[in-house]
A and B are shown apart, each in its own frame.
Chain A
Amino acid sequence: MPYDPSEPLKDRITDIGPRHYGEFLPPVIKNNKGKWLYHEILQPGVLVHVAESGDKVFSVRVGGCRLMSVEHLREICDIADKYCEGYLRFTTRNNIEFLASDESKVKPLIDDLKSRKFPGGSNKFPIGGTGAGVTNIVHTQGWAHCHTPAIDASGVVKAIMDGIYDEFGHMRLPAPVRVSLACCLNMCGAVHCSDIAILGIHRKPPMVDGEWIDKLCELPLAIAACPTGAIKPAKTADGKKSLEVNAERCMFCGNCYTMCAAMPLADEVGSGIAILVGGKLSNRISKPKFSKVVIPFIPNEPPRWPSTVNAVKNILDVYSKDANKYERLGDWAERIGWERFFEKTNIPFTHHLIDDYRFAYTTWRQSTQFKF
């Protein structure tokens, strides 16, 4: 019985939630759940997990674009059918894992994945993303679908991953490096604890569309949305209710635009990229930590954002050469000292990098311990 528009509530089903994960687990996983003994990374992107029973499951991890067509998804399904009895999963970082219980299928699967390319020449299924390397960049929507971005997302990610592609397929860095991108500081993909974060920021205060603002927005909500109290009521020349922004106090968070469509702030030269580094999520050795802003602004450079790609490559390169084994990027920067970080990476330290917001003092140095 198809949907009947004349009776939208007839036989309506609601609140059934997601499908149960148990329906989608390969038998080898179902049989050994909670009884895995250990795993090994056989080569970059290829893992075997061994259970107490002696059963093994082989996972082949490939990078994916999170913006993905159903044509591509169908190709993924065909591959899973051919080698993995139809079983696969997606990882938290937008990778795809083909799950094979039959070891003899692994090599043909790898060969097949390597052979598939888009007409433009890019690989459809690059294998890697494991261990002490760079895995896929988690990211947001950007110019493909979002109303508040300062930058594109998919294009910047593509350009960066092309630039550091070799590290996806190798495990030769001092520790895992997690790169993330959020196209504005709403961070619908939270990037604030990443080894390297690419963040879209604005630098021009919002414009006020005085003709329309009172029709489009709840003015008090827009005023209340400003964390620095920079927005106040005003009237247009012809007496319409409007708002006024004290530009000096604007920190370009865009929260007012989120609340009010008549206060756009994105701009072709005002908006661009900030780079943050040194965050981590895991509790391994050191505690989780926030990423820190080290490059306050890089202009938007579509289509391939060369300055951003070079900045990421430079940081990754210096870290790779200088850090000890097991040292995450932030652990390394703390050991050598941030003064050395800027020296070694040749990144200029400017006033923008000194905190002047809520918890600013906690980041200033109250010590005579520093390096010349």
Chain B
Amino acid sequence: MGKHNTPMLDELEKGPWPSFVSDIKQQAEKGKHILKDAPEDLLGVMELSYVDKVTHWKHGGIVGVFGYGGGIIGRYCDQPKMFPGVAHFHTVRVNQPSSKFYTAKYLRSLCDLWEHHGSGLTNMHGSTGDIVFLGTTTDHLEPLFFEMTHELHQDLGGSGSNLRTPECCLGQSRCEFACYDTQEACDNLTHEYQDELHRPAFPYKFKFKFDGCPNGCVASIARSDMSFIGTWRDDIRIDQAAVKAYVGGEFAPNAGAYSGRDWGKFDIQKEVVDLCPTGCMRWDGSKLEINNRECVRCMHCLNVMPRALRKGLETGASILFGAKAPILEGAQMSTLTVPFLPMESPFSEAKELIEKVWDWWMEEGKNRERLGELIQRKSFQEFLRVCELDPDPRMVDEPRSNPYIFWKEEEVEGGWTRDIEAFRAKHQR
């Protein structure tokens, strides 16, 4: 038995899913981490929360490394005498490489670093995508940062009112659907905006996320202030022989993704043509036709028949702005703002757009106002003026139903200045 009696947490060692309790215990027993008591005291304080049904962590103080305003989250336990090993338990956000590929060698060097300077516990990965080192004391922060930058050539991620660590799907590295190089876009913009990432100058947080296609594996439409979602604007490439192979049962539909249940023989009419949201497909028994002009690139047909249908060749990204979780005005998804943006390195078009948006948000945004809330407060029209974009019906689901249009004076013939006397000359009081 460990330092603390943890009968409730021990219940979570049972069952088939990997047990984080067993894992923390193995770290406590055989780990080489420098903060010796941290894993056991973490179990201790969690057990206390399981009994009390309330957290025992306090607000973070201001801790960090010199010159940075983000990347470290201060954390203190509210029962430091009972759990001295986690009395100070700060988090270090380490900027992950694009789409989280690793070599064992590099991962081990991260493990070594964290054993020298912390609890030996991590999050792989945090919600924004960082490698998270979970729990250390203030005196370890500068040495950790020094060794990380000098020996691992690795920097911290973002926290606070700044650019948060950008994140991408795996993109072209291993996916046939990716419409641009999400890894390169993510890496390039992360390096371009290091100052914004490390030194908080924004009204609140700002997130970029890069999805390679409208399947949206990295959730950019729900989770980023600026969502880059891959798309194409020419025709879906069709291999008619491969379509027939799907119909004939030679190829497994959906790449086998539905193979765990007997859904019957693959029916291209019912499963593809009839489910197309715009009805732009036709199957005559031997040939599949797509009216590409009507296609909205929902990905369904490509997902079902990846060996027969491929994205077009003229690719880029749709840019959407303003997603956020519910705090405060309610959850928002990103709104389509630029239907098509080329996404070739060095991503100059994207950077130009980003900087216009940031300038406006930093000027107009209130403390803790996300971009999506500012757009709502100031209007989408105002946002388009900032972005120097023309309105486009693709930006709305439908035109407004109320007629309360905020006309501008210059739009109205003769302007707004009128003469009441001239009016009265024709109309008695």
Contacts and interface: CB of A to CB of B under 8 A. Distances in A.
Nearest to A253: B327
Contacts of A124: 18
B287 interface: no
Contacts of A142: 55
Given A73-B122, A162-B15, A290 B300 contact: no
Contacts, number: 432
A69 interface: yes
Given A171-B259, A187-B325, A33 B172 contact: yes
Interface stretch (A3-11, A240-248, A345-353): A3-11
A36 to B, nearest CB: 4
A154 B18 CA distance: 11
B339 to A, nearest CB: 14
Which of A57, A185, A326 has most B Cβ within 10 Å? A326
Which of A15, A185, A193, A359 has most B Cβ within 10 Å? A15
B14 A121 contact: yes
Nearest to B28: A69
B396 to A, nearest CB: 13
A44 to B, nearest CB: 7
A357 B75 contact: no
A268 B120 CA distance: 30
Interface in B134-183: 134-135, 142-143, 146-147, 149-150, 152-155, 157, 167, 169-170, 172-176, 178, 181, 183
A94 B306 CA distance: 25
B104 A186 contact: no
A348 B259 CA distance: 34
Interface string B251-263: 0101111111101
B358 interface: no
A188 B101 contact: no
Nearest to B256: A41
Interface stretch (B213-221, B348-356, B402-410, B415-423): B213-221
B283 interface: no
A143 B106 CA distance: 30
A34 B197 CA distance: 29
Interface in A139-190: 140-149, 152, 154-155, 158-159, 161-162, 165, 168, 170-173, 176, 182, 185-190
Contacts of A21: 97-99, 101, 173, 183, 187
Contact of A15 (B26, B99, B155): B155
Nearest to A187: B325
A300 B300 contact: no
Contacts of B22: 118-120, 122
A161 B17 CA distance: 6
Contacts of A237: none
A319 to B, nearest CB: 13
A29 to B, nearest CB: 5
Interface string A57-87: 1010001111111111110111011000011
Which of B108, B174, B327, B329 has most A Cβ within 10 Å? B174
B198 A15 contact: yes
A48 to B, nearest CB: 9
B299 to A, nearest CB: 5
Contact of A23 (B103, B129, B221): B103
B325 A303 contact: no
Interface in B253-277: 254-261, 263, 271, 275, 277
Contacts of A33: 172-173, 181
A131 interface: yes
Interface stretch (A104-112, A278-286, A336-344): A278-286
B172 A39 contact: no
Contacts of A253: 326-328
Interface string B26-63: 11001101000001001001100111111111111000
B328 A255 contact: yes
Contact of B101 (A87, A123, A143): A87
Nearest to A261: B59
B11 A304 contact: yes
A3 B142 contact: yes
* Chain A interface extent, by class: 35 or more
A286 B214 CA distance: 11
B238 interface: no
B14 A281 contact: no
Contacts of A77: 104, 107-108, 111
Nearest to A21: B98
B39 A69 contact: yes
A14 B67 contact: yes
B13 interface: yes
A64 B101 contact: no
A351 B10 CA distance: 38
Interface string B104-129: 11111011001100001111111111
Contact of A41 (B30, B114, B167, B255): B255
B149 A16 contact: yes
B320 to A, nearest CB: 10
B347 interface: no
A286 B293 CA distance: 19
Contact of A66 (B54, B105, B125, B149): B125
Contact of A158 (B20, B45, B124): B20
Interface string B289-327: 000000011111001001100000000000000001111
Interface in A87-126: 87-92, 94, 96, 118-126
Contact of A71 (B30, B104, B222): B30
A92 B167 CA distance: 9
Given A19-B154, A25-B101, A71 B198 contact: no
Nearest to B73: A145
A192 B222 contact: yes
A285 B297 CA distance: 9
A267 interface: yes
Given A80-B104, A144-B42, A190-B325, A359 B17 contact: no
A325 interface: yes
A132 B304 CA distance: 12
Given A5-B142, A34-B181, A65-B18, A271 B54 contact: yes
Nearest to B108: A77
A233 interface: no
B277 A17 contact: no
A288 B15 CA distance: 34
Given A17-B95, A70-B27, A89 B101 contact: yes
Interface in A292-342: 300, 302-304, 325-326
6 contacts: A15-B155, A38-B255, A155-B9, A253-B327, A261-B59, A302-B50
Interchain residue pairs A-B with the least CB separation, the first 8 = A120-B13, A131-B257, A162-B15, A172-B260, A187-B325, A118-B22, A69-B27, A77-B104
Given A74-B108, A92-B129, 5 more contacts: A16-B194, A19-B154, A155-B9, A158-B17, A171-B261
